[in-house]
Copies of this chain bind each other. A is one copy, B any other.
């Protein structure tokens, strides 16, 4: 029974964080954002994940994206744990805020609860959920991973690049697309319009149906 899915406005949550009190809508205003939960501080997969996010923080910043971590531990725990993350990921600093949700309200609101894990007192534990939020503060894309499976931050960069490209041009990205590969032209664009829109041209794949819907272009 989740509370959030793609298309929904991200709730304007208020929380303590390693950067002080954060009011989410103010914090992300004018930026894309990635909000991601982790099961707990001082646990193995999370240490590798938040370290990789620290490594890629500049890459995200360059793309106009704010990063926000989140778990049910308190700020003091986060602050202590960051020393471990930075030691394991030598030379990388955790420059993004990590929110504290000790009452487990935010993780429920954001569909970030792990169904199979409980803390020692029986409380809910966050899953490895990650939502990409657009400039309109709506969820554009979500990963819902369980505690066992660390995320792939290269995939996060890949889909972010796809979303940002589709927000600018009338294109979509085919299966296994990587930045630099050709995109496909959206079905809503006629061939006539496509000639105007993509002056570098496009290639139409010939198919048994004779329908001209598979059109590749470089943007």
What secondary structure prevails in chain A residues at the interface with B? mixed
Is A127's CB under 8 angstroms from B163's CB? no
| Shortest Cβ gap from A48 to chain B (Å) | 4
Partner of A7 from B42, B116, B145 at Cβ < 8 Å: B116
Report the interface size class on chain A.
35 or more
Is A173's CB under 8 angstroms from B45's CB? yes
Is B166's CB under 8 angstroms from A152's CB? no
Partner of A141 from B47, B81, B145, B155 at Cβ < 8 Å: B145
**Contact mask A67-101 → B, CB, 8 Å, 1/0?**
00000000000001101100110000000000000
Is A184's CB under 8 angstroms from B44's CB? yes
Nearest-neighbor residue (CB-CB) of A53 within chain B? B175
Provide the residues of chain B in CB contact with A13, threshold 8 Å: none
Is B84's CB under 8 angstroms from A52's CB? no
Is A44's CB under 8 angstroms from B5's CB? no
| Given A44-B174, A207-B88: A5 in contact with B150 (beta carbons within 8 A) | no
Is B174's CB under 8 angstroms from A148's CB? no
Stretch at the interface among A20-28, A58-66, A210-218: A210-218
Provide the residues of chain B in CB contact with A137, threshold 8 Å: none
Provide the residues of chain B in CB contact with A214, threshold 8 Å: 44, 47-48, 84, 88
Is A52's CB under 8 angstroms from B166's CB? no
Among A127-161, those with CB < 8 Å from B are 127, 138, 140-155, 158-159
| Shortest Cβ gap from A61 to chain B (Å) | 19
| Given A141-B145, A146-B141, A187-B44: A207 in contact with B5 (beta carbons within 8 A) | no
A115 at interface, CB cutoff 8 A: yes
| Shortest Cβ gap from A210 to chain B (Å) | 10
Which 3 A/B pairs are nearest by Cβ-Cβ distance? A7-B115, A148-B166, A2-B5
- Between A and B, 9 residue pairs with Cβ closer than 8 Å are A2-B2, A5-B144, A7-B114, A44-B215, A45-B184, A47-B213, A88-B207, A149-B173, A152-B175
